Structure 1
C-alpha cells in the first residue's frame, strides 16, 4: 500500500480533518451533533450489514438514509446556512468594515457589576464576525453609542425595554428588547433561568459573546461557544471582553496560532484517526482489475500525408483503481498517438502507458498489444497544391 501513498493523500486527510473538526467545534453543544452521531451509527450498521450480505436490512437503511438526508436539510436549514457562512473565505471582502469607534469596555464592565449589585437582570449580546439576523427576533432599533448610562436606563425594571437582550453591533447599540433562541441542552443546570438559557442558546449557534446578569443571585456570567463562565469582578470581565472583542496585534496572532494548534488536542487526534480510517476504507479498498476497450486516435499527421490504414483500431486495457470512488467503466479513455514522425508507407507506432490519459488513482496493469501499424500515403500533387 505504501508505494501508492502520495503527497496529495496527506493533503486530502488534513483538509477533511480540518473540516470535520470545525463542524464538531461549532455543533458540539447543539442537537445537530447528536443527530449527526445517530446518522453515523446508522452508517456503520449499513456498512456492516452490506458486507455481511444482509440485503433487506442494508436496503432499508439505504432508503432510510435518503429520507433522513432530506429531513436534515429541512430541520437544520438554519445551522447549515450558518456553517456555510462560517466556511466562506470571501465573507471578509463583502462584510462591512469595522467601525472606527471603540467601546469603553471598562465603563461597560463597571456598569454590569453595578446592575448586579442592585439585583437588576441584564442580557447584552456582542456580535462578532458571524451575522445574528437569523437568530435574533423582534427588537427595538436604537443605533446609539454604548455607554453605562444607556445600559442602566435600558435594564431598570421601569423601562419598557428591560425585558429582552441588547444587541451591540459594529460598536453601537443596534437593538434592544430582543428575543434570543433558548438552549435545549440537557446539561444546563435547573437553577438557571430564561436569561441564561437564552445566552447559552445563542452562543451555541454563533460566535457571539453574551454577558448575562442574574436578577435573583446578582451574579455576572459570560457565555461563549455554548459554555457559561462566571465573572468574579469587573476587572475579570473587562479583561475577557478585551481579549474577545478587540483585534490582536501581529505578535499575539502568531502566539494564538500556536496555541490554537495544540488546543483541544485529544478531540483533534480522535478526529484525525477517524478520518484516516475512513480514508483507508475508501482509498485502499482496491477494486478488481477491469478490462476495457479503448479506441485509438491520432494527431499531428503531416500535411503531405494521408492516413489510409491503421491496425488495430482499438486496444484492450486492464485497469486497476486504488479508490472505489473511481470506476474505470465510467471513464472516457482513449489511446492518442502522435503521428508527427510518420513516413510514407508502413509504420509501427509504439504504445506506452504515458500516452493513455487516466484520472488520478487509476493505473494501467496490462495491454493486449504494444504496437499499432499505420499506413500512410503521400497526397496527390494537385490536392497538396490546392491545400497550399
Structure 2
C-alpha cells in the first residue's frame, strides 16, 4: 500500500485499544474460558428469533421510520409507564437506537460542546468519556467509594459549576453491580433541581436486579425525568447483544435535539427486529422474569466460591460479580488478569481500567451470564487459586 504520509491530529489521542479487546484477543489466543465480556453464551428465546424471521417473511425489510417502528415505541411507552409510573409519548419522546451506546453517544453529541463539563461517576463504562472528548467537552470524574461503590454526594455537589452541562449515571452499575437507592436518586434530584444540567441515565441492566430490590429509574422522579435521557438495551435484556438494539426516552424538547443527530448518524434501526420486539414485549414475563433467572446464576456462582480465597459481596444487579483477590496475590489487577488467562485459561476484566488514574483496588470483574457447565469449569479454576 502506498504511504501518502498524511499529516493529521488525532481527535482521541489518549484512547488506546480497550481492555475488552485486549482481554478478548488474549482469551482466544489461549483458548480460555471467557467470563470477561458481558454477553451470554446460551441461546436466546426461540420465540423471539421466530418473530424476527416472520417479520422478514412478512416483508418488513426496508427502512423503518427514523424514530423507530411506532408499534414498538408504543409498547416501550406502556412498559415504562407500567413499571415506573411516567408516561412518554411514543411519537415525540421515544426513539429506537442501535443499542444503548449509540443512544448515549447521540445524547452527548446533541448537547455537549467545547468546554462543557460532564460529571462521570468512576469506575465507568468506557464509552462515556471518548464521546465527551469527541465533542470537545471535559469529563469531570468522581470516584465511587470502595468497597461499596457509593456516591459521595458532598464531593459530587462540589464538582457542579456554571460549566456543568451534563451528568452521566449508570444503575444498575457496570462494573460494580451496585444499584442506586431511592435515597440516592432523591439526592441527585435535589442537587440538580435548580440547574439546567441534563442527565443521562444509563439503565441497560434495568431488568437484572436481585434480592427483592427495585430498579429506581430516573423516570420515576419528576424533576429528574424532566431533564433525563433514559437509555436502555434490548440486547442486554434478551441475551442478543449482537443485535445492537435499544431505546432512548426523554421529554419532547430534549428528544427533538437528540433526533437531529440520530437521523444523520443512524437514521433508522433494523426493521424486522423492531417488529419482532414489538410483539415480544407485549408479554411482560419476558422481562419481569429476568431478575429470578439471573439471581439463580449469581447464587450458583457465589455458592461455588464459598470456600475460595476471594473476598466479595453479592452483586446487587447486572450479570457481573466483582472478586477481590488480595488474599491470593499482590499483583496489579491487569497483570493478574493476564496471568489467569495464560496460566489458568480463565478470562476476566481488571477494574483499574475504569478508575480515575487507573486506581488498582485488586479487583476483577466476572460475567456469570453463562451456561452452568461454563460456570462450573470457571469455579474449578478459581478455587485452585
Task: Please tell me whether Structure 1 or Structure 2 has the larger radius of gyration of its CA atoms.
Answer: 1
Higher relative contact order (Cα pairs below 8 Å, separated by 6+ residues): 2
Question: Higher strand fraction: Structure 1 or Structure 2?
Answer: 1
Under TM normalisation by the shorter chain, which class is it? under 0.3
TM-score calculated relative to the size of structure 2: 0.23
